[in-house]
Amino acid sequence: MLGATILASSMTFIDGSVVNAALPVVRAQLGASPSAAQWIVESYMLFLSSLLLVGGALGDQWGRRVVFIGGTALFGLASVWCGAAPNVSQLILARGVQGIGAALLVPGSLALISANFPTKRRGQAIGSWAALTSIAAGIGPLLGGWLADRFSWRWIFLLNIPLAVLVIALSLAKVPESRGEQEGGGIDWLGALLATTMLAALVVGLIDAATVGFGAARVVGYLTAAFCSLVVFIAVERASGHPMIPPSIFRSPTFTGVNLLTLCLYAALGATTFVLPFTLIQIHEYSIVGATAAMLPFVAVMAVLSRWAGWLTDHYGPRLPLSLGPTVAAAGFLLFSRAVRPGPYWSSVLPGVLMTSIGMAISVAPLTTTVMTAVSEAHAGLASGINNAASRVATLVAVACVGILSGNAFATGLPIVSRAAALVSLLGAATAVVLVRGGVSETRQSGDASHSIAE
């Protein structure tokens, strides 16, 4: 069961990291403008971010395994379209369909773990998921980068096909079905439409602002539409009998705090890892394989420390790792500003990679465990969806802001982007200190392990 969730999650992580590394080559071969290059990433993130909550709710109501398998199949078919896309427009559309598939499978992966592992073992199970996913997500982009360098960038998408087939086979054979308590409820399609409209208008406005400025009429129009969609979305969620985001789920300060931390941490990471490949390929003249391999120490550190970080949360509580991790990551983001200067890998790039990876390793497993423990098991899919949506929305908005920060000069804009990332990461650490409360793990397992943080 764990293997299927790891492989499926790895596909979505691989497509994020390897596409970033190959983007300079894709942009050159397809003649994409800077904004079109951003949309190759953003179209995937847009639908993934806005529909994750629907994916989690569908899993809770229709069956997590069914939705998980359906999402995997759609992701695989969309990967075929990406690999065959003849122009930028079709690639952007195909990436959007990939995002829809990912939105169905991603929340299901953690919800299935939560449903099939008891509370005492859940932290270590999620730690194993994080560690093994990191290894797979590190090897996958390296293989994809080699295929892109040796043959074509199209192979980075075609690589998903055998993985999708294997995930479906394992899921049918090994994964038990599970549902939430409210399996007969409706799906908030209006909320999903409003969320997608809001994020699309926000991203278009931010990307356009990098070229024409915030004072341009169309930018003002897009940002106004985003704000209005947000207001209507909040009103609809409050009035809906089956809201996509039930307001009551945010009554827990821990749940609210961890999701705010997620926004900060993944915005910082998303902006930095979007710009870094441009710096490595265009300034340092790395190959796609070289740019991808530059992040392998990140993967190694995550793989080594993630299970330990999950154990740490189980025994000593979430507040320490969730405040320390983002602080260490902030130091790593600052170190990335050195990568724009000529120099060997070990002095210009490696320090930022190592420091950021340590910070993320301390943060990720405790963050995920805390989110899943802060709600009842019946809402595991919803909680996973909200937290994954927070991380994807953070990346979506961060990548849209990169052009504003760098003036669309992605290769040379790393110093200012990395400094902004450090500030955002420190904000996340402060959020964890203020809002994250102690949970079952801080009782040193002496109390009733069935109590959730929210209780």
Condensed to tens digits (0 to 9), the pLDDT of residues 227-248 reads: 999 999 989 988 887 787 877 7
3-state secondary structure of 154: coil
Q: pLDDT tens for residues 249-280?
A: 888 888 889 999 999 999 999 999 888 888 88
Q: pLDDT at position 71, please? A: 93
As a whole-number percent, the residues of the chain with pLDDT over 90 amount to 26
Distances (CA, A) of 455 to 253, 260, 284, 382, 438: 11, 20, 52, 18, 11
* pLDDT of 312 higher than 80: no
pLDDT at residue 118, rounded to an integer: 67
Distance of alpha carbon 262 from alpha carbon 393, whole angstroms: 10
Quickly state the pLDDT bin for 427 (edges 50, 70, 90): very high
Q: By percentage, how much of the chain surpasses pLDDT 70?
A: 89
Note the pLDDT of residue 84: 93
Please tell me the distance from the alpha carbon of residue 58 to that of residue 382, in angstroms, as a whole number. 9
Angle between helices 88-116 and 119-150 (to 10 degrees): 160
Whether the per-residue pLDDT at 122 is higher than 90: the answer is no
The pTM of this model reads: 0.76
3-state secondary structure of 63: coil
Q: What is the pLDDT of residue 405?
A: 83
The pLDDT value given to residue 438 = 57
Task: Return mean pLDDT, the chain.
Answer: 82
Domain residue spans of the chain: 2-173+242-443, 188-241
Is residue 447 pLDDT above 60, yes or no?
A: no
Residue 339: CB atoms within 10 Å = 26
Q: Which amino acid is at 139?
A: I
- The CATH code that applies to domain 2-173+242-443 is 1.20.1250.20
Mean pLDDT of 426-434: 89
Confidence band of 448 (pLDDT split at 50, 70, 90) = very low
**Structural Rg of the chain based on CA atoms:** 20
Output 354 or 340, whichever has higher pLDDT. Answer: 354
444 confidence band (pLDDT: 50, 70, 90): very low
Contacts 24+ apart (CB under 8 A), 140-144: 140/10, 140/11, 140/13, 140/14, 140/18, 141/14, 141/17, 141/18, 141/21, 141/292, 141/295, 142/289, 142/292, 142/293, 142/296, 144/14, 144/18, 144/22, 144/292
> Is there a contact between 385 and 67 (Cβ–Cβ < 8 Å)?
no
Asked if the model's pLDDT at residue 446 lies above 60, the reply is no
Stretch 51-65: mean pLDDT: 81
Whether 299 has a pLDDT exceeding 60, the answer reads yes
> pLDDT tens digit string along 368-380?
778 877 777 666 6
Query: Does 439 have pLDDT greater than 50?
Result: no
Q: Which position has the higher pLDDT, 150 or 351?
A: 351
Q: Can you tell me the mean pLDDT for 379-401?
A: 81
Q: At what angle do helices 350-373 and 380-406 cross, to 10 degrees?
A: 150
Average pLDDT over residues 115-142: 70
- C-alpha span between 363 and 358 (Å, rounded): 9
How many helices (DSSP H) and strands (DSSP E) are in the chain?
A: 17, 0
Least confident of 128-132, 182-186, 237-241: 182-186
Pick from 187, 208, 192, 288: which is nearest to 42 by CA? 208
The CA distance from 182 to 61, in Å, is: 6
Of residues 388, 369, 393, the one with CA closest to residue 452? 369
Mean pLDDT of 75-83: 95
At a CB cut-off of 8 Å and minimum separation 6, what does 121 contact?
none
Assess whether pLDDT exceeds 60 at residue 449. Answer: no
Question: Are 94 and 82 contacting, i.e. CB atoms less than 8 angstroms apart?
Answer: yes
Q: Average pLDDT in the 411-440 region?
A: 84
Closest CA relative to residue 111, chosen from 8, 196, 199: 8
- Tokens 């993320």 correspond to 360
Structure tokens that stand for 134 in this block: 């990191």
Work out the pLDDT band at 403, boundaries 50, 70, 90.
confident
pLDDT for position 222: 93
Between 441 and 352, the more confident residue is 352
**Residue 418 — very low, low, confident or very high, per pLDDT cuts 50/70/90?**
very high
Which pLDDT belongs to residue 441? 36
The pLDDT assigned to 282 comes to 85
Contact 397, 206 (CB under 8 A): yes
pLDDT at 96 over 80: yes
Q: What is the pLDDT of residue 314?
A: 72
What was the pLDDT predicted at 288?
84
pLDDT in tens, 209-233: 888 888 899 999 999 999 999 999 9
